[in-house]
Structure 1
């Protein structure tokens, strides 16, 4: 299962994956917005996008990491913001390969910590994370404040 950085040549297939990810989380399909979002990430380099290609070269999943900083650790850390595998490729080790590649990329950049959040009811994702050594953060509660601005693209 080759996992590699996404390139501009992947944009169309990557946008399909991003749109599928958004629909998984209850958002309306919007391939044009997903394409714009992915194109901006690739152009700005403000995230690390890794993709997994199946035996025929078709993209079957992606993981996206966002750099940030920890004042407490006085070190960079990354937020694993997105992980998605197409329904037909699930339970084939794609998510595990993507997660391991994300870890390897972070380690190669000297990142002190990876963080992620998932839905409370996403039991299969939680089982994967636990199997890879991730632990649930019981020390902090997480809060969200939605602002009345247009989403960044």
Structure 2
């Protein structure tokens, strides 16, 4: 298993995985849109994507978005996307991706990693908790969706 920071050379593979990730969350398939989105992230360097490659096949990815903690005056990352192809699940790939993210965050002197996952996604919750992530009980999280 090889896990490394994605580059534009990984675009087609990451876009395919990203499209499948979005489908998992009940979005319509849109490989063109996924490719455009990942191209922008890689070209603008506004996210960090790690890919998992096994025997030449891209089987998973994780995407981090940099942010900051005003209170602590330090960098933080939002672990926004983690996905392992259905055919590659239960092989420890999610564990390896999370290990790589933690290793990278420590090297970048990041204060914390934050994430959200769907309430029904019990497998992801178990994975995150196994890696020391704790469910927030101190704050409510809100969002405002802005529509046209």
Coarse TM-score class (shorter-chain normalised): over 0.9
Runs of 4+ in 1 over 6 A off after TM superposition: none
Name the residue aligned to 1:74: 73
Question: Unmatched 5+ residue regions in structure 2?
Answer: none
Q: Shift in Å at residue 57 of structure 1? A: 1.2
Measured against aligned partners, the alpha-carbon deviations of 1:71-100 in whole angstroms (never above 9, x if no partner) come to: 111111000000000000011000110011
Q: TM-score, normalised on structure 1?
A: 0.95
What is the match of residue 58 of structure 1? 57
* 1:120 has 2:116 as partner: no
The aligned residue for residue 137 of structure 2 is 138
Gaps of 5+ in 1: none
Cα offset, 1:124, TM superposition? 0.5
SS in 1 for 2:80: strand
**What's the counterpart of residue 47 of structure 1?**
47
Q: Which residue of 2 aligns with 1:97?
A: 96
1:18-56 Cα distance to aligned partner (Å, 9 max, x none): 0000000000000000000011111011000000001x2
| Secondary structure, counterpart of 1:107 in structure 2 | helix
- Pair 1:4-2:4 in alignment: yes
What is the CA–CA distance in structure 2 between the aligned matches of 1:7 and 1:120, rounded to whole Å?
Answer: 32
Q: Which residue in the other structure is 1:19 paired with?
A: 19
CA RMSD of aligned residues (A): 0.7
